[in-house]
Every structure is written in C-alpha cells, then in structure tokens.
Amino acid sequence: MRKALRNYSGLALFAGVWLIYTACPPFLSYDSYWSVATAVSLVENGTTRVDRFVAGAPASADYGVECVPASGPARLKYAAEGCRGGHWYSYFPPGTPVLAAPLILALKGAVAIAGPLVPHTGLSGGLFGGLFGGFFARREVAAFFSGDLLNGRPLTELFCAAFIGALTVWVQYRIALLFLPPGGAMALALLFAFGTTAWSLTSRNLYPHGLTLLLLSGALYTLLTPPSPRSYWFAGLLLALAFCVRPSNAVSCVVLALYVAIHQRRYLAAFVLGALPIAAVFFAYQFTERHSWIPLYLTAPRNSTSFMEGVTMNFFSPSRGLFVFTPVFLISLVGVALALRRRWCFPLTGYLAAILVLHALVVMTIWPGHCYGPRYFADMTHLFVFFLIPAILWWREQSGPARTALAAGFLALAACGVFVHAHGATSIAANQWSALPANVDDARWRVWDWSDPQFLRGLR
C-alpha cells in the first residue's frame, strides 16, 4: 500500500511539473536549432546530416553548423566555402538529437492526429475560433500543427524539454525517498523543479543541460540503491550517454568510474559493459561520419575569460552568479562538509564532491554567453540538491529555537530561488537581457551591473 502511494505521488508529481513546464513560454536558443534539425533528419531520413535545412536556416544559427568534406576534418560554416562535395552536420554533440528523436517521433504522431482538429488561419468565427484562432494562426504554431517540427521549433523544443525536465524531477523524488520521508522527498523534488535552473533554463529548450541532468540523476540513483550487476550496468550506460550529450560530463564519467573501480570492483565489469557499446558507437560514428576521433566542438576556439574573473562571475555576479540565482545552494556547501565529516553515503559522497570541484575548474575559464543565470552550473544541479539532504538530516536532529531559525533561513533562501527562477521561466524581458540594450558578449561588464540584474529585468 505504501509503495503504491509513493508510485502514485511520483506520477502526480511528474504530471504536475510537466503541465507547469509546458504552460510556461519557450525561450529559444540557436545552440539548439541544429539539435532539432538533426533529430527531425534522423526521424524522417535516418541520418544526422542536415543538408536540406541549411539553405532555409536563419543566419543567426550559422555558427552551429559544420561542413564535413569528402575527406579531411570538419570545418565551421564560415570557413567551409560552400561545402562542395561534403555534407552539413550540427556542430554540437550528437547525443541530444539522438535521444530526443523518439520524442520528435511521438510529436509527429500527435500532431498528425491533433493537426486537423485545431483552428486554421481562416477560422475566426464562433467562440472557439475567436478565442484560439489567432494563436493557431501564428507562423510557428501553424507550422508545428502541420507537422513541420523545425519551423514549429518553439513548441517542439518546449514539449520535449518539459517532458525531459519532468522526468528528471521524478528521478530526484526517487533519490530523496532513499533518505527522507515521502513529504520531505516531495518538498525537495519540488524545490529542484521550481527553485533551480531546472525551471528557468533546462526545461525551456533543447539545450544539452536538460538531458545531462536526467542522465546524471539516473546514474546517481542507481549508485545509491543496493548494488547489483544490473544497476551498475545501467549506471555505466547512463554515464556514457551523458558524455555523448555533453563532453564536459566526462568529469562525472571518469570520477564515478574510479569510484566503481576502487570501491565496487566486483561490479566493474558490468559497469564497463554498460558504457562500452555506447562509447564504441559514438567514436565509430565520429570517425566514419565526421572524419575525426575528436569532435570539432571540443577543438574549436571558444570565448574565454580569466580564471579569477570566472570564479567571481559564476558564483557571485548579479546576472550569472550561482549563489545569487539559487542561494539555497549555499546550504549545499554545508551539506558537503556534513557528509564528509559524518561519512554519510561514504565513500561515494567524496567522489561526488570531487565532481563539483572539478566541474567548476573546467567551466571557470569559458564565457557562458547568452543564457539565463549560471548556465554552466545547470549540469550540477542534481548534486547541489543531493547535498541538501545531509543538511536536512542534521537539521532534523536539532530542537528548540535553533531548529526554527534554521528552518526559516532555509525557507527564505529557497523562496528567493523560486522567485528568481519563476521569473526566468516566464519573462521574455529577462531572457532578452543578454541581447538588450547591448550584447553581453561584447559588453561583459553588464554581468556585474547591479542596476540592471537579469533576474529583475521586466519587473521595474
């Protein structure tokens, strides 16, 4: 009975989060334009080539496509000279479009059924047409319901990202249930859903961060459950897929592989057998289709910043700072210290803490570009939320005024994060901050402008 109730609660959580995520407006990124194009090409043509989409793509998406010539390495579009004799591919890693392809296929089936039922441009009479005709007549919406999922990209990305995000919240609920009573686990999952970048960033479009969170959360869950060859096989599989989605996830892959090799040696073979086929397919594809073992995505020049500037910006700046946008994660740092001191979930927690540190070192010198808040730390949201658990367990041991004061502080920090991420998930103005009144890539000082912080744009 209790298990059935938990399953029902998890299903209700997934459905509720999905509905809220879907009701919020989509915020497009041209990083994800070619993810949709590649996924559509996979579904419709069985290939990752995007040749047929290049001519009609907006110029602002040109940076995200590369030419692979008949022989030799890939080149970005500006250096490709028309790609004569070659083929066009997305510049970004293939994991996101490959894993999104089943959702794209499901959407194509859904719009084939729903498309004939929705109002069209000419429908303006009657109550239904008067209320909804204008919405369905919009170019992107009409394209989506006609089955053109690339030109209907705002809805395509929103539905896919919302589903992935809601599924990740459910996994977070399952993780929290391992340590907290159902009510506490539900509250922590809701904090993950609405008090972090899971709402304002990863559920808005097909950035790779959404799938990263899902896959890394799933791997964490399997490593926390009672060990078995099956669970460790699945953990290896999920981590390999996470690398294919976003190569910076190699930090988690390597650190957790070391954990298994040192502390769970009896399951190492199963772990490797889970990861090996995915890695083999990835590198075989990379070599045969893209003519290089190493993706151009990893070797092309990037906008960079100094290490110390990156530290202060990523943690404390008003428009990119992790602890400004999600201040409750300050308590996660306390949770890390408590976990290590009390040997909670030891030795795994030591490796998880190392992932946080190493990930920070990797991203500190990379300029985050256009986004809402601390985009590069979105990939670590699952670990920051996980390390809230030892702090919560410690708080439950307290009593009297100290317990009340600590709870009030936690709720205040959490509420600030919910406010910031709710605004980011619903405000067009906040998401236009990176481009207006000046491109933040050219005016980097703007991330420190407390007179116009991103999380308050549109509110004053």
Taking phi first (over 0 means left), then psi (-120 to 50 degrees means alpha), and beta for anything else, what does residue 214 get? alpha
| Residues 107/155, Cβ–Cβ less than 8 Å | no
What are the strands, taking DSSP E only, across 69-130?
75-76, 87-90
So what's the pLDDT on residue 126? 44
| Residues 103/160, Cβ–Cβ less than 8 Å | yes
Q: Is the pTM of this model over 0.85?
A: yes
The count of other CB atoms within 10 Å of the CB of residue 187 is: 16
The per-residue pLDDT for range 85-136, each reduced to its tens digit, is 899 999 999 999 999 999 999 999 999 898 787 776 544 444 445 545 567 7
So what's the pLDDT on residue 141? 86
So what's the pLDDT on residue 366? 93
- Closest residue by Cα to residue 46 from 101, 109, 106: 101
The set of residues, in sequence order, having a beta carbon less than 8 Å from that of 432 and lying 6+ positions away, is 457
Residue 313 or 80, more confident: 313
- Closest residue by Cα to residue 386 from 187, 217, 238: 217
- Residues 163 and 169: their CA atoms lie apart, in Å, by 10
Q: In which residue are the tokens 């609405």 written?
A: 194
- Residues 359 and 266: their CA atoms lie apart, in Å, by 28
User: What is the mean predicted confidence (pLDDT) over 323-330?
Assistant: 98
The residues spanned by each domain of the chain are 31-117, 120-151, 157-456
Please state at what angle helix 208-224 crosses helix 348-363, rounded to 10 degrees: 160
Q: In which residue are the tokens 């209907």 written?
A: 152
Alpha-carbon distances, residue 309 vs 125, 170, 356, 359 (angstroms): 58, 36, 19, 16
DSSP for 137-164, written as a single string:
HSHHHHHHHTT-TTTTHHHHHHHHHHHH
- Residues 325 and 424: their CA atoms lie apart, in Å, by 10
The per-residue pLDDT for range 253-273, each reduced to its tens digit, is 999 999 999 999 999 999 999
So what's the pLDDT on residue 121? 54
So what's the pLDDT on residue 41? 96
So what's the pLDDT on residue 139? 86
Alpha-carbon distances, residue 118 vs 4, 24, 126, 268 (angstroms): 38, 20, 13, 53
- Residues 314 and 430: their CA atoms lie apart, in Å, by 18
| Residues 260/268, Cβ–Cβ less than 8 Å | yes
- Residues 249 and 355: their CA atoms lie apart, in Å, by 10
The per-residue pLDDT for range 258-315, each reduced to its tens digit, is 999 999 999 999 999 999 999 999 999 999 988 888 888 887 767 889 999 999 999 9
Residue 428, H or E segment: helix 428-432
- Determine the Cα angle at 198 with ends 330 and 170, to 5°: 105
- The encoded tokens of residue 253 equal 């892959």
So what's the pLDDT on residue 359? 97
User: What is the mean predicted confidence (pLDDT) over 137-152?
Assistant: 88
pLDDT for residue 208 is more than 90: yes
pLDDT for residue 237 is more than 50: yes
- Residues 58 and 169: their CA atoms lie apart, in Å, by 34
Sheet holding 65-68, edge to edge: 75-76, 65-68, 87-90
Percent over 90 (pLDDT), the chain: 77
Lowest mean pLDDT across 60-74, 306-320, 433-447: 60-74
Burial category of 436 from C-beta neighbours within 10 Å (exposed 0-12, middle 13-18, buried 19 and up)? exposed
Lowest mean pLDDT across 143-152, 300-309, 370-379: 300-309
Phi, psi of 134 (to 5 degrees): -65, -40
Query: Amino acid identity of 286?
Result: Q
User: What is the mean predicted confidence (pLDDT) over 427-450?
Assistant: 94
| Mean per-residue pLDDT over the chain, rounded | 92
Query: Amino acid identity of 361?
Result: L
Residues listed for the chain: 460
3-state SS, residue 366 = strand
Alpha-carbon distances, residue 389 vs 43, 173, 181, 185 (angstroms): 41, 12, 12, 9
User: What is the mean predicted confidence (pLDDT) over 210-231?
Assistant: 97
User: What is the mean predicted confidence (pLDDT) over 129-158?
Assistant: 81
- Residues 455 and 458: their CA atoms lie apart, in Å, by 9
- Residues 392 and 184: their CA atoms lie apart, in Å, by 9
| Residues 2/179, Cβ–Cβ less than 8 Å | no
> Where is mean pLDDT largest: 26-35, 209-218, 431-440?
209-218
- Residues 265 and 267: their CA atoms lie apart, in Å, by 5
| Residues 223/72, Cβ–Cβ less than 8 Å | no
